[in-house]
């Protein structure tokens, strides 16, 4: 196994949560390696059944995520969201920073190698079906709340400022849900998509 201290062709390291231990992934000739706190692991490319990428622009609030599913069903989640420690500069951040460059380099190289070396592996992009269905349910519920709220105020013949404020909050969340809903569930991932996002 290659040590994380040894320079690797492709490496990505983040602290995925405010209280989480740093995690590092690197890709070598014999597969994907990772460390998390005091644990380490190795995942041969032949053991990967599915890779699914959800790529977000660098300025977006939603982090980019890569979900790997082994043939055994075990899942691994790689993100570009990094919560810096105080020692990395100044006060603790109010939110995660994005480490998009190293993330795209890692998952792009991984996806290309899977396409070349493991033809049986499925390469997908977008939200998973669970996330998409959940988003659709929340969107439908939000629209129902908006319609019902407006209809009730119209029927009563008066405007409730508290209700109007609540409906405004509901409406503000709809643009955040729409990109996931519009994209649909998981769909095939091709090299053109990797190229357009600067992956690998």
Looking at residue 47, which CATH number applies to its domain?
A: 2.30.29.30
pLDDT beyond 80 at 55: yes
pLDDT at 6: 46
pLDDT category of residue 177 using cuts at 50, 70 and 90: confident
Residue 23 and residue 119 in one domain: yes
pTM score, whole prediction: 0.74
Residue 51 and residue 133 in one domain: no
pLDDT beyond 70 at 109: yes
Residue 72 and residue 158 in one domain: no
Mean pLDDT is lowest, of 25-29, 38-42, 84-88, 164-168, for 84-88
Residues 6+ apart with CB under 8 A from 198: 104, 108
Residue 159 and residue 118 in one domain: no
Q: pLDDT higher for 199 or 140?
A: 140
pLDDT category of residue 92 using cuts at 50, 70 and 90: low
pLDDT at 89: 59
Residue 38 and residue 94 in one domain: yes
Please name the residue that has the structure tokens 């706190």.
37
- Decide if 110 is inside a domain: yes
Burial, 154: exposed, middle or buried (Cβ in 10 Å; 0-12, 13-18, 19+)? Answer: exposed
pLDDT beyond 50 at 1: no
Residue 14 and residue 101 in one domain: yes
pLDDT category of residue 79 using cuts at 50, 70 and 90: very high
**Rounded to the nearest 5°, which phi and psi values hold at 9?**
-60, -40
Q: DSSP string covering 95-119, please?
A: SPEE-HHHHHHHHHHHHHHHHHH-T
Burial, 26: exposed, middle or buried (Cβ in 10 Å; 0-12, 13-18, 19+)? Answer: buried
Residue 121 and residue 176 in one domain: no
pLDDT at 93: 59
Which residue segment(s) compose the domain that 159 sits in? Answer: 129-182
Residue 95 and residue 31 in one domain: yes
- For the chain, percent of residues with pLDDT exceeding 70: 90
For 108, 125, 138, 148, 164, the CA distances from 191, given in Å and listed in that order, are 9, 11, 32, 45, 47
- The number of folded domains in the chain is 2
Residue 99 and residue 174 in one domain: no
For 90, 113, 115, 139, 197, the CA distances from 54, given in Å and listed in that order, are 31, 18, 17, 20, 11
pLDDT at 16: 86
What's the N-to-C CA distance of the chain in angstroms? 22
What average pLDDT does the segment 61-80 reach?
Answer: 91
Residue 54 and residue 96 in one domain: yes
């Amino acid at each position: 196994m290659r040590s994380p201290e040894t320079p690797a062709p492709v490496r990505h390291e983040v602290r995925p949560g405010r209280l989480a231990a740093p995690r590092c992934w690197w890709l070598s000739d014999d597969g994907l390696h990772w460390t998390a706190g005091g644990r380490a692991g190795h995942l041969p490319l032949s053991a990967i059944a599915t890779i699914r990428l959800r790529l977000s622009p660098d300025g977006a609030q939603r982090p980019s995520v890569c979900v790997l599913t082994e043939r055994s069903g075990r899942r691994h989640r790689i993100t570009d969201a990094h919560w810096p420690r105080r020692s990395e500069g100044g006060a603790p951040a109010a939110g995660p920073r994005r480490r998009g460059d190293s993330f795209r380099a890692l998952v792009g190289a991984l996806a290309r190698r899977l396409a070349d070396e493991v033809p049986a592996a499925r390469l997908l992009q977008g939200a998973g079906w669970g996330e998409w269905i959940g988003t659709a349910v929340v969107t439908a519920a939000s629209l129902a709340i908006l319609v019902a709220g407006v209809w009730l105020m119209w029927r009563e013949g008066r405007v409730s400022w508290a209700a109007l404020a609540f409906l405004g909050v509901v409406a503000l969340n709809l643009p955040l849900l729409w990109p996931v809903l519009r994209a649909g569930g998981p769909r095939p991932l091709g090299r053109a998509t990797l190229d357009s996002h600067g992956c690998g």
